[in-house]
Amino acid sequence: MRLGVELGGLRLKNPLIAASGTFGYGVEYEGILDLSLLGGVVSKGLYLEPRDGCPVPRIVETPSGLLNAIGLQGIGIRAFVRDVLPRLARYETALIVNVCGDTVEEYAEVARIADVPGVAALEVNISCPNVKKGGIAFGGDPRMTHEVVSAVRKATRLPVIPKLSPNVTDVSVFARVCEEAGADALSCINTLLGLAIDVERRVPRLAFGTGGLSGPAIRPIAVRMAWQAARAVRIPVIGIGGITSTEDALEFLVAGCRAVQVGTANFVDPGIYARILAGFESYLQRHRLESIGEVVGSLRFPDGEAPGGPGA
C-alpha cells in the first residue's frame, strides 16, 4: 500500500513501469527478472500488421545516451494478443499495450483489438507519422493529437495514456489537448530527435539518418517537460527519460508525476527495479512519510513561486 499508485483507473502496486521499446513484449525478460516485481510493463509499439522496421545500423551510443531508429518493428496486434498475451498472464503486473498507427482509423482499430482481458491500459504513441498528411507526426500538431486520442478513447473501455513527444514548442498545449480528448493519464516524454555523424565517412551513424535520443543525457529535459505537463492538467502524468537510480525516479515524482517508466537502463541493468523499490522504502522511512503519494508534486521553489508564475 505504501508504494501503490492510481493512474486514471489503472491501479499499480508500485510506480515502476518498464518502458515501451526497451523491454520487448515483456516475455524477453523472463528468467532475467521476476516480472511480478514491476508495477507495469509497456509492450513494444504495435500496428495492425507486422513491420520490419528500419535497416541496420539501428542503434548508436552517444555520451550518456543512446540514439535509435528501430522503425517500430513489431509482430502486429493480432499476433501479440494470440501468442504473447497468454504468456504474460502468469505475472502479477499491469500490461499496457503501446498503440501505433499510420492513420487515425488504424489507431482506433488497434485499440479495439487490444481491448481484451489481460490488458490493463493503452499507451498511445502519437509520434507515429500520419501517412495521409505527408508524414507529419500526430504528436506535433494539436488538432491531429486531439483527433487520434479521441478516436482511441471511443474505441476502448481501457484507460488511454497518450505518450507525448518532446519535439514540440510547448508540451503543456499537447497535455491539455489530450486531456480534452478524453485521456486518462499521460506518458511524458518520448525520445528527442537527434543526429550522430561518422566524420570519417561523412554519413549518419544510423542507416535511417536521424533517431530518437534516450538515456541519462535527456533526464533534465524530461523532468522539466513532465513537470510542465503535470502543472497543465488534472490527469496523472507518468515520467520517462534517463532514469538509472532511485534519485532519478524521485525527481519525476517530486516534479508531479505519479509513476515512472524505466527505458534505456533495461539494456544494461535489469536489476534496477529491485534497487529503486528498496530506495523508495528507504526514502519514505528517512523522511517519515506514510506513502509514495506524499512525494508526488512536492517540489518547492526558494521564493515560493515556480518560474513563469502560477500555471506557466
Give the catalytic positions in this structure.
128
Per residue, the 3-state secondary structure of 218-285, as one string, reads: HHHHHHHHHHHHHHHCCCCEEEECCCCCHHHHHHHHHHCCCEEEECHHHHCCCCHHHHHHHHHHHHHH
Contact, 207 vs 157, CB < 8 A? no
How is residue 196 written as a grid cell?
550522430
Nearby residues of 16 by Cβ (< 8 Å), 6 or more positions away: 38, 39, 40, 249, 259, 260, 262, 273, 276, 277
Classify strands 186-188 and 237-240 as parallel, antiparallel or unpaired: parallel
C-alpha cell at 54: 528500419
CA 5 to CA 137: how far, in whole Å? 31
Residue 222: left (phi > 0), alpha (psi -120 to 50), or beta?
alpha
At residue 281's C-alpha, the angle toward residues 276 and 287, to 5°, is 120
CA angle 192, 197, 203 (to 5 degrees): 125
**Which residue carries 522504502 as its cell?**
281
